[in-house]
Structure 1
């Protein structure tokens, strides 16, 4: 997959394009992406067009929390079959672009678009004046075709990134994973921790997510860790580690079952499958060790129950 990041000058031919924010890559997004990929066998270039900076963050001092960082999104998309991912800079100039200009200058001139795949409620351009009807208005003039897909739903509610963010903040991991169509993941480079886990017989890997990454409530989770192309079950703690001298940042610490390789400096993905308990502060390391053993037993029982 080719990744065009932060550039406004590019040129492709004979493209089938889907457009959106794509935060979360949830089941609704997957429907659009799969539709685009299905046209590759007809010789089209499969393009996914998004913006570098979340539009909700352009003029806000508060950093917008995302379900997946650009790095996480890129890693997932590399595995799905998209040919080109364009992360277009969302500048003041971009924000002021009229929808008709967006169609002509980007979709037609830069991408030679033949098929546009979007959700039925897709909006674009200055003041969000562009919509599916406007795209369809220019079909004959510019020689492309518009495919407008229905929204995906979960429990009779429309699946959206905002709905997933709300569920994640509330700790409703089952709904989060159902709407995503896959387990919520945290990707990053393994860094050095305090090494206390190794002295307690439970060596752990540590990730420090960026502040822009939205996380579920602090606590212990049944997890599955992707290491290269392999997966290992584990138990993950998200939080400040209050028992061992509270950290000033939220960490993601995972004990990987039946795994003893050195992962420092490696990139791993931690999938969260099930919530076990809140993060607790224990009086002694012995109490913490005992509780960790109970967590390990609980998580192993959980994975055994869903695999049978």
Structure 2
């Protein structure tokens, strides 16, 4: 996938899905689908040797998130860049354009945004957005405004209705709310997959090893959105060593089987920890994980983080956590 933040290096012409797409949940996927279909239709109908250039299926998003730009507060992401790319690839997206959201872009009128960005820079042939999409200065432009303005340039706009599941709106904010409460299964239902933490294994204090439960300490992207602090039953995939520099998320690579595990997310109050850490204990693993990338899928919230009176009490609780996780992971699909 071609990734760029510079409009001068965009591959054109394009068919464009516009939005933030944090999470790449099923609602986002319905917005992206018309882009892939348009590119496929072009290839199916364009005569060989005609000289026509096939449009590039493109997702256009904003970096930083507009809300982060206006508030000055970092907005943690369900899918940081590497995860977003890994989720977009199976959808047929060939290009990701991360528009730098700055003062100049925020001041563009809806008409100027279409003319300067979509027409001139992206050479968009078709556009797809969700029905709640807003753009331009002070979010003045609606999806219907986009359709009307783009029509002046003979560019069709697909306006995709809000996606619901069993009557519930599927949105990134709702998924965040569930995760903040430790409700990982409702979050997974809306995401269409377990919520995942992806990070490299780094050396820690090896306290878990001394207790008989060796853990892999994960270094996550700084902007990764974290769920409620506590202990989780998880499934863990070790990054495919055949493609060490290409993140492949399950189930895209069905040959990779997950390992059952327990994850602790928190400050380790029993040992007076001062920094938030993500530690994963694999229930059926023997081997060196240092330097490897782990994909950790959250399956169930087991308990909140707590401080124990002694290391023996902590050790006993960890054993209970492992037993509970094994039982849950064995009985759930």
Same fold (TM over 0.5): yes
Moved more, 33-42 or 143-152: 33-42
For structure 1, the residue ranges without an aligned partner over 5 or more in a row are none
For the aligned residue pairs, the C-alpha RMSD in angstroms reads 1.9
- Mapped partners of 1:252, 1:73: distance in 2: 21
Moved more, 219-228 or 69-78: 69-78
- Aligned to 1:265, the other structure's residue is in SS state coil
Question: How many residues are aligned here?
Answer: 305
1:154 alignment partner, one of 154, 165, 169: 165
- Mapped partners of 1:264, 1:173: distance in 2: 27
TM-score (norm 1): 0.92
- 1:172 shift after superposition: 2.1
Partner of 1:133: 144
1:48 to 1:294, Cα distance in 2 relative to 1, 3 A: same
Contact 1:12 1:112 in 2 (8 A): no
2:199 alignment partner, one of 172, 183, 188: 188
1:66-109 C-alpha deviation (Å, 9 max, x unpaired): 22323332333344431001111001001001111111122112
- Aligned to 1:138, the other structure's residue is in SS state helix
- Mapped partners of 1:169, 1:238: distance in 2: 12
Partner of 2:21: 22
Contact 1:12 1:110 in 2 (8 A): no
Contact 2:7 2:121 in 1 (8 A): no
Moved more, 149-158 or 217-226: 149-158
- Mapped partners of 2:65, 2:131: distance in 1: 21
Partner of 1:240: 267
Partner of 1:170: 181
Check if 1:101 corresponds to 2:112: yes
TM-score (norm 2): 0.85
Contact 1:190 1:263 in 2 (8 A): yes
- Aligned to 2:224, the other structure's residue is in SS state coil
- Mapped partners of 2:88, 2:60: distance in 1: 12
- Aligned to 2:321, the other structure's residue is in SS state helix
1:141-200 C-alpha deviation (Å, 9 max, x unpaired): 323211111111234232222222222222222221111111111112211111122222
For structure 2, the residue ranges without an aligned partner over 5 or more in a row are 44-54, 241-255
Check if 1:278 corresponds to 2:299: no
- 1:210 shift after superposition: 4.8
- Mapped partners of 1:219, 1:174: distance in 2: 15
Partner of 1:57: 68
2:282 alignment partner, one of 236, 251, 256: 256
1:232 to 1:34, Cα distance in 2 relative to 1, 3 A: farther
- Aligned to 1:261, the other structure's residue is in SS state coil
